[in-house]
């Protein structure tokens, strides 16, 4: 039975440490209020179960598992998994928000650089947006073949350089078309969104 006592003591210490760590993180504004509550519940719950194991009977009773074999353990596992899933979903949500904010920041920087060099709006009523990553050779063949107008309307070309290292912007400028460069490679979808932002600005 001594090993059970050791497990309970260690679990209790871990629970207290976890709850205190969550409090410190919350005070430093590293986590939000709801995240603090979830972490505090986990830490406090671990401490409570370690000090008073029969408290699991309350949870097991609520889940109608108090009379089943291993009912207490199953109830505890279900509850802990639910809390952990809430933490995972919360973290995924934070990551998604940060990704969106980062995407907006990169696009904003690229747009500001573009309009600093192009005081006059160079986007035509009809504009072809071409995302490009290391496409200097292909663009050198493609751009001269693009017509200047379609059905009497001038046609503009806006190339989105998505972090190329082969001189793609120089090729575009050589053919007299506008090019905006992403500070870093963001992928075709992000390049197109940047092009839409500039075309609609």
Domain shared by 135 and 91, yes or no:
no
Q: pLDDT in tens for each of the 201 residues of the chain? A: 566 677 777 777 887 887 888 888 888 887 778 778 877 887 887 777 777 777 776 666 666 666 666 666 676 677 777 777 877 877 777 777 888 888 888 888 888 888 877 655 566 678 889 999 999 999 999 999 988 888 888 888 889 998 888 889 899 888 888 888 887 888 888 888 888 888 887
What CATH number does the domain containing 147 carry?
3.90.550.10
Asked if 108 contacts 100 with a C-beta cutoff of 8 angstroms, the reply is no
Which structural domain, as residue segments, surrounds residue 32? Answer: 2-102
Domain shared by 29 and 68, yes or no:
yes
Query: What pLDDT does residue 131 have?
Result: 92
- Count of structural domains within the chain: 2
| Distant-in-sequence, close-in-space partners of 59: CB < 8 Å, separation ≥ 6 | 72, 75, 76, 79
Domain shared by 96 and 132, yes or no:
no
Domain shared by 19 and 95, yes or no:
yes
Domain shared by 70 and 148, yes or no:
no
Domain final residue, candidates 57, 72, 102: 102
Beta-strand relationship, 153-161 and 149-150? antiparallel
DSSP 150: E
Q: Which of 100, 193, 99, 175 has its CA nearest to residue 135?
A: 175
* Polymer length in residues for the chain: 201
- Specify the pTM: 0.57
């Amino acid at each position: 039975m001594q090993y059970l006592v050791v497990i309970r003591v260690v679990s209790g210490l871990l629970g207290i440490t976890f709850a205190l760590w969550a409090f410190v993180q919350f005070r430093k504004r590293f986590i939000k209020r709801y995240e603090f509550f979830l972490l505090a519940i986990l830490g406090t719950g671990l401490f409570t179960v370690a000090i008073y194991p029969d408290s699991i009977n309350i949870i097991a009773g609520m889940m109608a598992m108090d009379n089943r074999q291993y009912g207490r353990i199953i109830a505890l596992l279900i509850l802990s998994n639910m809390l952990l899933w809430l933490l995972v979903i919360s973290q995924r949500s934070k990551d998604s928000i940060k990704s969106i904010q980062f995407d907006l920041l990169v696009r904003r920087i690229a747009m500001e650089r573009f309009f600093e060099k192009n005081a006059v709006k160079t986007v035509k009523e009809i504009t072809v947006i071409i995302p490009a990553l290391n496409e200097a050779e292909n663009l050198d063949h493609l751009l001269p073949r693009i017509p200047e107008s379609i059905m009497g309307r001038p046609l503009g070309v806006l190339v989105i350089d998505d972090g190329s290292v082969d001189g793609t912007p120089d090729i575009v400028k050589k053919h007299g078309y506008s090019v905006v460069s992403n500070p870093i490679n963001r992928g075709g979808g992000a390049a197109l969104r940047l092009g839409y932002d500039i075309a609609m600005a």
